[in-house]
């Protein structure tokens, strides 16, 4: 897809009003720290979007340690991750840098340094954990090794049953599926089992560290008396990742660079600076739990993520499983700030304030569509129409699921309900035309994904 096509540039372009710009006009001071991935040009910077103070990783991913290595030359062309702080290039990071801790501390220090603490603030804290490469302190990794020694099948089953027991998902979620070709745990060698368990332990350690740092920020807000009056949203951006480290390299020269930047390739070294472990497909599917799929995939495991919200004056411990979308956050933040967004052109979402305060149990998306790299999905009530290539767990054509009865997208109902397929496919085409989504022929999409599937799902076992 040409990167010049609107909506496919992967950067900030066009006529828009950034949320920080909107909030600044209402008297807010704006902070950004962490991942940006919206372009490197000045007009695409946090400052251009309305942030007053920022420490920003401009690239999509990087080492979590101070070595400042990118993940591949396709992501960071120089090999060095690009950080900027308030408009100035950051040439070196402190030797004790660990992304999750540093980002939290930077924001805490920046909030402490506010000239006028009575002024409201908006902070966008974009942690790079738990993105590849998997990096975490050794003591935390050791804490989790034993939990994953029985394998990805047991992990997935225990997590689903735990969610059912807590009443967070229905019993129907117990019926799931794995990507075709996934071996059983017993089919792996002992070394491969140790490898898979170590990857999960590093991932869990990253999550615990992340949880601790979010808690430290919350403690700071309580200390300053700002917690009760602060809207806090914690969410992930996509499902668990599957790709090996080599997927970030396009050719042999980039693989050679990656081997030099990340020379530690033994299982024992996973998590350390200079290592580059990734989850792998089997672990990623276990992490997705009841939902089939993974990052980059339009099945539920790739696009459905948890969101935790602490809203001023809202009911505590309220669980809502209605369809909401990230596009709802812009009008939600504006609503809490007392800003009317009715004159904003092109906003897809709506404020979630009525949902969060129990005034209604539903958001505004009774129907929704997505397009991703040629794949398609359309949600209408409990119905979901989805096209994903067969090599990535789909059918290579439209499949139809009833998510109310089948959240794991196990039973394709397209042959039983052809009229529903026709209805939703036409709606997707209309949505794509209205919003500029590329309508690529399914056979072309399938051919392209078949060509990269081996590289996408390949596992590079530790030495």
Look at residue 269 in the predicted model and tell me its pLDDT.
97
DSSP type of residue 65: B
Distance between CA atoms of residues 82 and 56, nearest Å: 8
- Identify whether the C-beta of residue 331 lies closer than 8 Å to the C-beta of residue 349: yes
Measure the CA–CA gap between 439 and 376, rounded to whole angstroms: 9
Q: Are 241 and 288 in contact (CB under 8 A)?
A: no
More confident residue, 423 or 342: 423
Lowest-confidence pick of 5-14, 101-110, 234-243: 5-14
pLDDT at 14: 74
* pLDDT greater than 70 at residue 175: yes
Contact criterion met (CB below 8 Å) for 245 and 35: no
Q: Flag whether pLDDT at 138 surpasses 70.
A: yes
Q: Inform me whether the pLDDT recorded for 434 exceeds 70.
A: yes
Selecting from 3.40.50.880, 3.40.630.10, 3.40.50.300, 3.30.1120.10, what CATH number does the domain 367-457 have? 3.30.1120.10
Q: Which residues have a Cβ under 8 Å from the Cβ of 155 and sit 6 or more positions away?
A: 148, 200, 283, 286, 287
* DSSP letter assigned to residue 343: T
Q: Are 36 and 66 in contact (CB under 8 A)?
A: no
Which range is least confidently modeled, 13-17, 218-222, 290-294? Answer: 13-17
Confidence tier at 125 by pLDDT (50, 70, 90): very high
User: Mind listing the pLDDT tens digit for each residue in 29-70?
Assistant: 999 999 999 989 888 999 999 999 999 999 999 999 999 999
Lowest mean pLDDT, pick from 69-83, 149-163, 184-198, 340-354: 340-354
Cβ–Cβ contacts within 10 Å for residue 195, how many?
21
Q: 122 Cβ partners below 8 Å, 6+ apart?
A: 19, 20, 23, 28, 29, 30, 31, 333, 337
Domain edges within the chain: 367-457
Structural contact between residues 29 and 119, judged by C-beta atoms closer than 8 angstroms: yes
Average pLDDT of span 301-327: 89
Strand partners, 423: none
pLDDT above 60 (res 400): yes
- Condensed to tens digits (0 to 9), the pLDDT of residues 435-451 reads 889 999 999 999 999 99
Band of residue 314 on the pLDDT scale cut at 50, 70, 90? confident
Distance CA 451, CA 105 (A): 44
Give yes or no for residue 351 having a pLDDT over 70.
yes
State the pTM of this model: 0.95
- Angle of the 190-223 helix axis to the 281-288 helix axis, nearest 10: 50
């Amino acid at each position: 897809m040409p990167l010049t096509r609107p909506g496919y540039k992967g950067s900030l372009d066009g006529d828009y009003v950034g949320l920080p710009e909107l909030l600044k006009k209402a008297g807010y001071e704006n902070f950004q720290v962490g991942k940006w991935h919206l372009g490197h040009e000045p007009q695409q910077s946090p400052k251009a979007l309305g942030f007053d103070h920022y420490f920003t990783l401009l690239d999509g991913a990087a080492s979590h340690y101070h070595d400042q290595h990118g993940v591949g030359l396709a992501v960071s062309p120089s090999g060095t991750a690009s950080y900027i702080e308030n408009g100035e290039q950051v040439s070196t990071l402190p030797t004790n840098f660990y992304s999750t801790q540093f980002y939290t501390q930077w924001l805490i220090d920046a909030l402490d340094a506010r000239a006028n603490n009575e002024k409201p603030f908006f902070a966008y804290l974009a942690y790079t954990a738990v993105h590849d490469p998997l990096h975490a302190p050794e003591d935390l990794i050791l804490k989790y090794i034993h939990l994953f020694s029985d394998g990805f099948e047991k992990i997935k089953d225990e997590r689903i049953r735990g969610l059912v027991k807590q009443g967070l998902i229905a019993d129907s979620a117990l019926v799931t599926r794995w990507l075709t070709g996934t071996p059983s745990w017993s089919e792996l060698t002992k070394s491969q089992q140790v490898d898979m368990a170590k990857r999960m332990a590093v991932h869990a350690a990253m999550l615990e560290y992340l949880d601790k740092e979010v808690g430290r920020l919350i403690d700071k807000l309580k200390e300053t008396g700002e917690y009760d009056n602060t809207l806090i949203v914690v969410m992930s951006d996509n499902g668990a990742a599957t790709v090996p480290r080599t997927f970030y390299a396009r050719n042999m020269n980039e693989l050679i660079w990656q081997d030099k930047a990340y020379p530690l390739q033994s299982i024992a070294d996973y998590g350390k600076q200079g290592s580059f472990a990734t989850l792998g497909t089997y672990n990623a599917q276990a992490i997705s739990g009841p939902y089939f799929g993974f990052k980059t995939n339009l099945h539920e495991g790739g696009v459905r993520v948890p969101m935790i919200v602490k809203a001023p004056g809202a009911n505590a411990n309220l669980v809502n499983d209605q369809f909401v979308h990230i596009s709802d956050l812009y009008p939600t933040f504006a609503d809490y700030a007392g800003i009317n967004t009715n004159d904003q052109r092109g906003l897809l979402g709506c404020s979630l304030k009525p949902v969060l305060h129990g005034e209604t149990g539903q958001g505004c998306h009774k129907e929704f569509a997505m397009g991703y790299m040629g794949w398609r999905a359309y949600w209408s009530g409990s119905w979901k129409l989805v096209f994903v290539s067969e090599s990535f767990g789909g059918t290579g054509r439209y499949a139809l699921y009833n998510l109310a009865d089948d959240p794991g997208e196990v039973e394709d109902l397209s042959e039983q309900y052809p009229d529903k397929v026709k209805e939703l496919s036409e709606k997707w085409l209309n949505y794509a035309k209205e919003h500029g989504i590329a309508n690529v022929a399914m056979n072309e999409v399938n051919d392209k994904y078949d060509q990269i599937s081996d590289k996408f799902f390949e596992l590079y076992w530790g030495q």
